[in-house]
Amino acid sequence: MLSMKDKKNNSSLSRIRGNIVDIVNRTIFQGELEIYEGKISALKRMPVSEKQYILPGFIDSHLHIESSMMIPAEFAATALPHGTTGVIADPHEIANVMGVEGVMFMIENSRKTPLKIYYSAPSCVPATPFETSGALLGLAETELLLSRPEIVSLAEMMNYPGVLHHDKEILAKLATAKKYHKPVDGHAPGLRGKEVRQYAAAGISTDHECTELEEAEEKISYGMKIMIREGSASKNFTTLIPLLQSSPGSIMFCSDDICPGDLMKGHINLLVKKSVEMGYDLMDTLRAASYNPVKHYHLDTGLLREGDSADFIIVDDLMLFNILTTYIEGNPVAEKGRSITIAEKERPVNNFRTPSLNREDLKVKPLSNRMRVIEAYDAQLNTGCSIVTPRIRNDEVLSDPGNDILKIVVVNRYRQSKPAVGFIKGFGLKRGALASTVAHDSHNIIAAGVNDSAILTAIEAVAATQGGLAVVNEEKKEILPLPYAGLMSADNAV
């Protein structure tokens, strides 16, 4: 087992042989790697008997580690066996809860894993003025983060209206990123025409929010890189993968948000395998999974060249992509589907004020015989709206599970205030209620259920652990505590 104390103890010369996949020069040859002090000291072409393939490890070009509900060290232990050697993480979620303190927690915990976790400075905290977050990252805080070596970019600029309308603070943040020679990531779903041209011209270099091929092609035409996203919340791979043939140099792979169950099944390796199975060029695919993000963000992750950091993976073949071993800085960190790293203990951090609620706080009076309802769509981040006839009893609007309409409640976790109450459809819930402090982007308590009693019980369960996920019905109550900012656990994914 490898601990971080052992990470640099690799001063002896080691050699690994196999079929070397050189994605820089787009060729494959038999040969041997010589590794000394964590770097590739020599790369020799020679006949070898080993049938295995050696190639650069995979990079997730954009994700929120918090969405895995694991702290960085435990996320790493789950991702390493899938051949992931680096990720670019936007700590936007914990920043909304705890500000710079939360970002620094992520950076410090990342030092306890060999996985190369690079960070972006969150650009929009809070994300919206319509909800209360736990912190604010203004220009001073953004510059503090951008000045750090662990920060490789300004994170997704979701306030694209601020860019288009020349908001002074937004433009100052973009200028600060330029000052530190760090790219700016984008977040502009559906933006087209002259507006996306203006957005790109402001220095926005990437976008991971495209859901249509034509939208992505237009953004590429203005010089933007497109991250093909396949996560737990949104799946765009099948729609966007044709870009790999038309614009291979402009493509990267990312997960954005990935839950523990999905991460246990695979990571960027699954996109690589799927792309090759669909007939897309092997080298273009591997470059999207490693070379392109390494070059775009100026990462120190190795690409199998002499002098590079010895970060690479060994696979059985170039169709199945079964990961045999993952190496980082010359050390094996995962073998045959299992991490061989040891995660160190970590102190919990949080920002939580327990709310005081009662049944009266959740009551909704009818305004008419029609009401708006949020529509949630499976596997998509966007929502819709529909107009329905409310279920009314005793001059009160109630949940209507028979028509898939649930009451939804948002409770401020940072200060005492009146909750926001509405209605939503698309859950399909017939009994009980759900509650969570994983509630993008401000991560207040959000709950939905078939009646007020169940909703209150679920909210109280989450509050009792100062953050987590709860599910309740008439017979039982289950809670998953998330003591790290109400977003993450120090437990592993298993």
Whether 215 and 153 share a structural domain: yes
Name the average pLDDT for the chain.
95
Domain count of the fold of the chain: 2
The band of 494, judged by pLDDT with boundaries at 50, 70 and 90, is confident
pLDDT (tens digit per residue) in 378-430 = 877 789 999 999 999 999 999 999 999 999 999 999 999 999 999 999 999 99
Whether 420 and 285 share a structural domain: no
Flag whether 451 is in a domain: yes
pLDDT value for 380: 74
Whether 183 and 271 share a structural domain: yes
Whether 192 and 80 share a structural domain: yes
Flag whether 273 is in a domain: yes
Alpha helices in 278-333 (DSSP H): 282-286, 292-297
Whether 320 and 430 share a structural domain: no
Which domain-ending residue is among 277, 305, 339? 339
Whether 53 and 114 share a structural domain: yes
pLDDT (tens digit per residue) in 72-131 = 999 999 999 999 999 999 999 999 999 999 999 999 999 999 999 999 999 999 998 888
pLDDT value for 345: 86
Structural domain containing residue 28: 4-339
pLDDT value for 2: 41
Whether 329 and 375 share a structural domain: no
pLDDT (tens digit per residue) in 289-304 = 999 999 999 999 999 9
Give the integer Cα–Cα distance in Å for 159 and 275.
Answer: 32
- Taking alpha carbons only, the member of 34, 114, 26, 37 closest to residue 73 is 114
Count the Cβ atoms, other than its own, within 10 Å of residue 483.
19
pLDDT value for 382: 82
Flag whether 487 is in a domain: no
Higher local confidence (pLDDT), 252 or 9: 252
Whether 261 and 219 share a structural domain: yes
Flag whether 191 is in a domain: yes
Flag whether 490 is in a domain: no
pLDDT (tens digit per residue) in 308-338 = 999 999 999 999 999 999 999 999 999 999 9
Whether 300 and 370 share a structural domain: no
Whether 16 and 80 share a structural domain: yes
pLDDT value for 161: 95
* Across 156-177, average pLDDT: 97
Give the integer Cα–Cα distance in Å for 22 and 27.
Answer: 5
Give the integer Cα–Cα distance in Å for 94 and 105.
Answer: 9
Whether 305 and 388 share a structural domain: no
The token pair that represents 260 in the structure block: 């523990």
Alpha helices in 34-99 (DSSP H): 72-79, 92-98
Per DSSP, the three-state class of 96 is helix
Whether 333 and 411 share a structural domain: no
Characterize 69-87 residue by residue with b for buried, 16 or more Cβ atoms within 10 angstroms of its Cβ, and e for exposed: bbbbbbbbbbbbbbbbbbb
> By CB neighbour count within 10 A (0-12 exposed, 13-18 middle, 19+ buried), where does 214 fall?
exposed
pLDDT value for 492: 86
Give the integer Cα–Cα distance in Å for 430 and 450.
Answer: 7
Q: In the predicted model, is pLDDT for residue 164 greater than 60?
A: yes
Flag whether 57 is in a domain: yes
User: HSE of 463 in the Cβ direction (CA atoms, 13 Å)?
Assistant: 21
> What is the pTM (predicted TM-score) of this model?
0.92
- Taking alpha carbons only, the member of 447, 372, 413, 464 closest to residue 131 is 413
- What is the DSSP code (8-state) at residue 222? T
Flag whether 412 is in a domain: yes
pLDDT value for 10: 58
Give the integer Cα–Cα distance in Å for 189 and 122.
Answer: 18
